[in-house]
Structure 1
Amino acid sequence: MNPADALPVAHDLSLWGLFMSASPVVKLVMIGLLAASVWCWAIIIDKTLLLRRTRAEMDRFEDVFWSGQSLDELYRSLKDKPAAGLPAIFVAAMREWKRSFEGSGRQVASLAQRIDKVLDVTIQREVERLDSKLVFLASIGSAGPYIGLFGTVWGIMTAFTSIAASKNTSLAVVAPGIAEALFATAIGLFAAIPAVLAYNKLQAQVGKAQARLEGFADEFSAILSRQIDERMALAA
């Protein structure tokens, strides 16, 4: 017997080597986690840019709104444009206002309540737009480590089955199989940790945006309610 035949087979312990030597089930877990990680980063980048753009639009709109420009002029400049954030709330409320005073001018008595409902619906729609897809980050953040752990358990089972079949328990034989299995858990953590951190940060930013939308809606509702009272007093 050639002594070289008794030497352990060299294993490629690089990341690519660990992936290629893993079992099909573990490979599937790794590929799924890597795909989920890529999708998480796409959501993180998209939502970060969206929230940054939303804050900038809110700042610009508030500067114009509180500059003393006529509400009618501001509404005419915005009504035919795609609106989001504070402009969407303003346009929705002003549209209801205009409808109530067009034609015969009746329906003023319950106008304040209708405007409040329109504002609530618009705020909910805007928050859903900002909050969409964040649940995927939460799902990966909570499930990613367990999916990786499943791949690890499966990989270790496969490794020990191979060890039992070869009847060789030396560390050189055991270590590569265990390393391949643990690589799945590492990928699960790689996908989950950024997802959890980003979810918490983005949710906090969405909460701040929602508070800002609600604050503006309350102020604008008070302005319109005051004008309604003035018109009703004049009509009386």
Structure 2
Amino acid sequence: MIPLAMMLQDTTVEALPEEAAAATASLAADAAASAPAAGNLDILQLVLHASIPVQLVMLVLLLASIASWVIIFRKKRTLDRAEREAERFEERFWSGSDMAKLYAAATERNREVEGLEAIFEAGFREFSRQRQRRGADSRAQLEGAQRGMRVASSRELDGLEHNLEFLANVGSIAPYVGLLGTVWGIMISFHGLANVKEATIATVAPGISEALIATAMGLFAAIPAVWAYNRYATKVERIAGRYDAFSEEFSSILERQVHIED
């Protein structure tokens, strides 16, 4: 035991060589310098260095996103105009104006009518046409007016619903298209490991980052499209209810007028 203790006492801790200390300091400096750079994500460089199939997927998603935003702004303007037109015509209609004057204003030359005014114009035109026929009873007059209003209402709603299906398709398909680009990019990254002797995270990280951009672009295209579709579909449904209510009320007015004349 005594020789072992003496050997331990004689053992001294030698300092690191200067080269080893310098190497350690250099590694620490490199790690500190690379840490902020890793947090800087250059989206443009990731897109430009992605494979051709992934770039094609990104291009398709970008075009779909641009088309969606164009439809979103146009549809907002169309639906807002339809609501304003409905409010203005209902105010004129229920203010006690003569229906013949409203019909004459709706049938003026070089004037396009839409919304409730178009429904009123179609119903009153068919009602007047049935009244001019000999032998047409009150039931035929009302059915003709209702048929004309249904056709006009269907035409107006078709115009309001135009391109809404595109937003629905983008919202449901875009995430899967982006996922397709991601899967393809990851496949390319792992296929490239066959030529690498030693695979590390640094080897596959750039390829995976490029591939994940496709998924991000798919979500970027899908989220606004889904939101706009739900919002505008609700607006169209509310306007359709307004059209139906007006058609029923106008039919009641025409029915009372026929009974008074009879």
TM-score for both structures, normalised by structure 2: 0.81
Contact 1:13/1:176, CA 8 A, preserved across alignment: no
Contact 2:123/2:147, CA 8 A, preserved across alignment: no
Partner of 1:30: 58
Counterpart CA distance in 2 for 1:129 and 1:35 is 24
Structure 2 residue identity aligned to 1:225: E
Higher relative contact order (CA 8 A, sep 6+): 1
Question: Which portions of structure 1, spanning 4 or more consecutive aligned residues, are displaced by more than 3 angstroms?
Answer: 10-13
Contact 1:141/1:192, CA 8 A, preserved across alignment: yes
Counterpart selection for 1:106 from 135, 138, 145: 135
Counting only pairs closer than 5 Å after superposition, residues 23-62 of structure 1 correspond to structure 2 as 23-62=51-90
For residues 59-118 of structure 1, the C-alpha deviation after alignment (integer angstroms, 9 at most, x for no partner) is 11111111111100111011132111100100001111221233x543244111121111
Counterpart CA distance in 1 for 2:155 and 2:195 is 60
Residue aligned with 1:106, SS = coil
Partner of 2:216: 186
Structure 2 residue identity aligned to 1:178: I
Structure 1 residue identity aligned to 2:238: K
Cα RMSD over matched residues?
A: 1.7
Counterpart CA distance in 2 for 1:168 and 1:186 is 30
Partner of 1:5: none
2:106 paired with 1:97: no
2:99 paired with 1:71: yes
Residue aligned with 1:107, SS = coil
Of all paired residues, the percent bearing the same amino acid is 43
Q: Which has the larger radius of gyration?
A: 2
Counting only pairs closer than 5 Å after superposition, residues 124-135 of structure 1 correspond to structure 2 as 124-135=154-165
Structure 1 residue 205: Cα displacement: 0.5
Partner of 2:153: 123
Structure 1 residue 229: Cα displacement: 1.8
TM-score for both structures, normalised by structure 1: 0.90
Structure 2 gaps, min length 5: 1-36
Counterpart selection for 2:190 from 160, 163, 180: 160
Contact 2:171/2:221, CA 8 A, preserved across alignment: yes
Aligned length: 222
Structure 1 residue 123: Cα displacement: 1.3
Counterpart CA distance in 1 for 2:181 and 2:135 is 67
Counterpart selection for 1:84 from 106, 110, 114: 114
Counterpart CA distance in 2 for 1:47 and 1:190 is 20
Residue aligned with 2:97, SS = coil
Counterpart CA distance in 2 for 1:25 and 1:228 is 69
Structure 2 residue identity aligned to 1:77: A
Contact 2:171/2:223, CA 8 A, preserved across alignment: yes
Structure 1 residue 153: Cα displacement: 0.3
